[in-house]
Amino acid sequence: MSLPSTHQTAIIGAGVMGETLLSGLVRAGRRVDTLLVGEKRAERAAELEERYGVTVLGNVAAAKAADTVALVVKPQDMGELLAEIAPVLRPGQLLVSLAAGITTAYIEARVPADVAVVRVMPNTPALVDEGMAAISPGSHCGDADLAEAEALMGSCGKVLRVPEKQMDAVTAISGSGPAYVFYVVESMIEAGVHLGLPRATASELVVQTVLGSAVMLRETGTHPAVLREQVTSPAGTTAAALRELEIHKVRAAFLAAMEAARDRSRELAAQD
């Protein structure tokens, strides 16, 4: 998406995800003189200015100067932040919220009318430019606003537009999803050690296997069940292993886990 050379983007919240977004935008070619960061801690501000060459301001000053404002704060801090910056927001600005469980309606009720809001559910692989972000428009959001949100999040991964009613499910799948993968990887490594492998060997075997499997899924477009069957010889080692997973109801456990994550996301939204 081509933006005017004067278009200013502010990132409020300079934690891990905020810096991930900032570094992704810089790597994607955004001019640093069009990027602002809202950060109150002087030491952190100096660190970001030195590392990226961006201007770091207070939250209010950054929100006032920007055309697009990315809100990268914890859900429990969103109400306080909106109360702080709302007086300087203006119609035509775009707010992009990365806070889990915070609805566009919650934000729209606390900012001036005709401020566009886009809700985003990112995930941590954005740290290595392999993120999966889902975005949903608010009631005052146009195509240009969605395109700008896509460009923001596309700097560090893939972006998918979804209806906001699906965001709780998205949170359960891709938002929390990396933790499930890390849990499986951790379990496989521990199993390898139990079976007699050195931990470093087990780690390398598991990580590359997971990476290679993910690339196969993406590159071939083949259904995972088909790929699984290609590995599974009748009465072979893989079949024996999969039988144990079925006996222990691992598939059902994943469903229950993701339902729990979805329900918790709904609870967070209900606290608005």
Classify residue 157 as left (phi > 0), alpha (psi -120 to 50) or beta.
left
- Asked if residue 263 has pLDDT above 70, the reply is yes
Beta bridge partners of 134: 121, 160
Q: What is the pLDDT of residues 31-63, one digit of tens each?
A: 999 999 998 888 898 999 999 999 999 999 999
pLDDT at 4: 57
pLDDT category at 5 given cuts 50, 70, 90 is low
Q: In the prediction, which pLDDT does 265 show?
A: 87
12 vs 19: CA distance, rounded Å: 10
Nearest-5° angle of CA 36, CA 112, CA 24? 25
pLDDT of residue 89: 95
Average pLDDT for 230-238: 96
Six-digit token string for 190 = 């521990």
Per-residue 3-state assignment (H helix, E strand, C coil) for the chain: CCCCCCCCEEEECCCHHHHHHHHHHHHCCCCHHHEEEECCCHHHHHHHHHHHCCEEECHHHHHHHCCEEEECCCHHHHHHHHHHHHHHCCCCCEEEECCCCCCHHHHHCCCCCCCEEEEEECCHHHHHCCEEEEEEECCCCCHHHHHHHHHHHHCCEEEEECCHHHHHHHHHHHHCHHHHHHHHHHHHHHHHHHCCCCHHHHHHHHHHHHHHHHHHHHHHCCCHHHHHHHHCCCCCHHHHHHHHHHHCCHHHHHHHHHHHHHHHHHHHHHCC
Closest CA to 170 of 153, 184, 147, 187: 153
Overall average pLDDT of the 133-156 stretch: 94
- State how far the Cα of 70 lies from the Cα of 54, in Å rounded to an integer: 15
Q: For the chain, how big is the Rg over CA atoms in Å?
A: 21
Share of the chain above pLDDT 90, in %: 86
**Which of 11-15, 218-222, 235-239 shows the lowest mean pLDDT across its residues?**
11-15
Q: What's the CA gap between 74 and 266, in Å, rounded?
A: 16
As a whole number of angstroms, the distance between CA 48 and CA 25 comes to: 14
Enumerate domains of the chain plus CATH numbers.
Answer: 9-167 (3.40.50.720), 177-270 (1.10.3730.10)
- Pairing verdict, β 157-161 and 94-97: unpaired
Residue 257 has a pLDDT of 97
pLDDT score of 269: 75
pLDDT value at residue 87: 96
pLDDT at residue 2 is higher than 80? no
- Mean pLDDT for the stretch of residues 83-105: 94
pLDDT category of residue 211 using cuts at 50, 70 and 90: very high
| CA 52 distance to own-chain centroid | 21
